Amino acid sequence: MTVVLRSPQEFHAWRKQQKGSVGFVPTMGALHSGHEELLKQARKNNDVVVLSIFVNPTQFNDTNDLDKYPKTWEQDLAMAEANNVDAIFCPRYDDMYPDNYRYKVSENSYSNLLDGAHRPGHFDGVLSVVMKLFNIVAPTHAYFGEKDFQQMTLIQGMVESFFMDLQIVPVATVREEDGLAKSSRNVRLTSAERLKAPAIYKAISESKTAEEAAEKLNAQGFIVDYVTDVGTRRFVAARLGDVRLIDNVQI
Ligand code: PAF
């Protein structure tokens, strides 16, 4: 039985009764099999599993993207129940931002690269909401997908910098059979765009250089925000129509 808790106060009362390790999967809803993998790992390794669903406005630099973010509450609830999630925390904006975002968490180096260079304020919004969620949920383990590798690295850094007492568990990117990384935004692709989209993964995994991958994508009509190698990973963000997709691979 999955309980649905709406306010931090309600969550806090429930949390006090839980014992043992707490595995936490923070999401913005529109759950897909990538999220399901996070839930399965959390379930396998913890006594208690918490899922949060909160479409966090402070991390959307583009209001169109925020407005069009898919909302699939019935399916999300069914997936949570099927995976024996103990509680779903789904707060409202005023619950999460009683100060209306006067206080925020920011990082001033890595967050300015890659997605940060194209989405001003995005990682401030992510780090701020994740810290709030960690403070409310008080998990022992939190699960993040490697598809959002930069996000995961920044959250790991925040946990270390602020001596937060939990473990971040990375989970490998889940892909469609044709290689497209699972993402809540994929449902917004037209059928023609959906056919084209796997070229992103193909280009970054098969090209010798980031430049070559960018050229291939440009030639196929993608609007490429970046293809960049950082350390041993290659990162990409590219648009098809008004849908922006990201991915990364080990090189
Ligand atoms: O990856 C996401 O879905 C979001 O960025 C997160 C971590 C839930 C914060 O809003």
Q: What is the pLDDT of residues 113-162, one digit of tens each?
A: 999 999 999 999 999 999 999 999 999 999 999 999 999 999 999 999 99
Q: How far is CA 163 from CA 25, 57, 130, 131, 166, in A?
A: 20, 26, 14, 12, 9
35 annotated active-site: yes
The preferred substitution site among 72, 115, 129, 143 for testing ligand 1, maximizing ligand atoms within 8 Å of CB, is 129
pLDDT at 138: 98
CB 220 within 8 A of CB 238: no
The preferred substitution site among 151, 158, 186, 246 for testing ligand 1, maximizing ligand atoms within 8 Å of CB, is 151
Output the CA 211–ligand 1 centroid distance in Å: 29
pLDDT at 43: 98
Q: What percentage of residues in the chain have a pLDDT greater than 70? A: 100
Sheet holding 87-89, edge to edge: 3-5, 87-89, 48-53, 22-27, 141-145, 167-171
Ligand 1 lining (C-beta closer than 6 Å): 26-28, 56, 59, 126, 129-130, 148, 151
CB 48 within 8 A of CB 23: yes
pTM equals 0.97
Q: What is the pLDDT of residues 165-224, one digit of tens each?
A: 999 999 999 999 999 999 999 999 999 999 999 999 999 999 999 999 999 999 999 999
Sheet holding 223-230, edge to edge: 223-230, 233-240, 243-250
Instruction: Assign 93 a pLDDT band (cuts: 50, 70, 90).
Output: very high
Phi, psi of 247 (to 5 degrees): -160, 170
pLDDT at 53: 98
CB 151 within 8 A of CB 45: no
Instruction: Please give the domain boundaries of the chain with CATH numbers for all domains.
Output: 3-171 (3.40.50.620), 184-250 (3.30.1300.10)
pLDDT at 199: 98
pLDDT at 192: 97
Tokens of 211: 């430049």
